[in-house]
Amino acid sequence: MDFSLIYNIIYSLAARDGRVEALFGPTAPLALDAFVHSVPCGTFPELWFELPLLGDPWFDLHVLTSRDSLVPDMSFTAETTGGYPETFAWFARQNDVRQLALSWDVGSRGADTPACQLLMRKGNLAESSAFFEAVNRPEAVEPYRAFVRSLPKGWFACYAGTFPNRSDAPVRVECIPTPEQQQMYAQDAGALERDLRQVGLTTLVDTLLPRCQLLAQSPYRIEFQFDITEEGQAGPTIGASVRFPPPTASKMEPCFDTQGPAGALMEHVEDWGLADHRWTLLQDAMFSKRIKSANDSFLMYCFPAFIKLRWRNGAPVDAKTYLMAGVQ
């Protein structure tokens, strides 16, 4: 399987019919080069296309390698791991991990050095702390551990990341409340405020609580993302996202239906001035196609996986979407 060819087919299908100009912008050549430097093994990785829903179109590329595609004694090169061979070697020896992501800021900063993120299967504090040692960021271990210890009971720290190109946000953590907690937040903004303050968030502007509560009231799972200070507390930037359920191979529509609950949610986001009409194109970017060749057959797919709202220093900024794509 020619992975570059598969990547180009996926991108072309997602971006066709005018979606290059409306959604993806001019990022494609840099993103392809980034992809080539993000494939450490013989299994095609998972792709996330991160796209803003307001302003000039562009996208960043996230390339995720599954732990299940690696074996503990594998060797890695800098050229195929985004410059993180030691991190991948560590990752291949872990148990409670799910994916290792290379995130390339090709839309805004070029494709020189990617961010690196660990996605966990379980809330193993020791294992996720060791990630920062493996990625050569030992100074982040204690702030990370302090932050995770401050989480409300039931929150799962599913993701830890380091961003070498971002001096204002070098460490990020994503957390998922339980379904019961999400239901509580949907009914009680005071409970949501209490738990956000517990992790150190002090800037709760007028828009944050009602909009997060609306996300919690949707039929989709809510997640919170924090940039961590040196003291182990939530910094001035927060993200709140909902994750759409993955579609089945035979029917893509329930994942993101502009006439259904996803569309109703996005109409609110547009009314808030955080997105324009381009969100209506996301449903058309979905596909599921069976590809056959003389020696192989696989399913190629793409669908909207997340919508994320963000606040920076108390001010809301543009919404983003993440298209998830790959092969099965």
pLDDT tens-digit series, residues 13-38 = 999 999 999 999 999 999 999 999 99
Going by pLDDT thresholds of 50, 70 and 90, the confidence category of residue 297 is: confident
Provide the angle, in degrees to the nearest 10, between the axes of the packed helices 179-187 and 208-217: 130
Residues 6+ apart with CB under 8 A from 203: 236, 311, 313, 314
- Average pLDDT for 260-279: 95
Question: For residue range 108-167, what is the model confidence (pLDDT) as tens digits?
Answer: 765 578 999 999 987 777 778 899 999 999 999 999 999 999 999 999 999 999 987 766
pLDDT category, 254, cuts 50, 70, 90? low
Burial class of residue 121 in the structure, from the number of CB atoms within 10 Å of its CB (0-12 exposed, 13-18 middle, 19+ buried): middle
The whole-angstrom separation of Cα 131 and Cα 145 is 12
Q: Are 30 and 304 in contact (CB under 8 A)?
A: no
What is the pLDDT at residue 129? Answer: 87
CA atoms within 13 A on the CB side of 163: 18
Is the pLDDT at 205 greater than 80? The verdict is no
Residue 264 has pLDDT above 60, yes or no: yes
Contacts of 86 (CB under 8 A, 6+ apart): 134, 136
Looking at residue 154, what is its pLDDT?
95
- Give the per-residue pLDDT at 203: 74
Query: Can you give the pLDDT at residue 300?
Result: 92
Is 257 buried (19+), middle (13-18) or exposed (0-12) by CB count in 10 A? middle
Which pLDDT belongs to residue 125? 76
Residues of the chain above pLDDT 90, percent: 76
Q: Which two tokens stand for residue 303?
A: 């669908």
Label residue 216 exposed, middle or buried (CB < 10 Å: 0-12, 13-18, 19+). Answer: buried
Name the H helices within 25-124.
Answer: 28-36, 85-91
**pLDDT for 290:** 85
Q: How far apart are the first and last CA of the chain?
A: 13
In what helix (H) or strand (E) does residue 185 lie, and over which residues does it extend? helix 179-187
Give the angle subtended at the CA of 266 by the CAs of 268 and 240, to the nearest 5°.
85
Neighbours of 170 (CB within 10 A): 21
List the Cα angle 319/324/328 in 5-degree steps: 175
Under 8 Å between Cβ of 309 and 269: yes
**Dist CA 291 CA 288 (whole Å):** 10
pTM comes to 0.94
Q: Return the structure tokens found at 70.
A: 């690696």
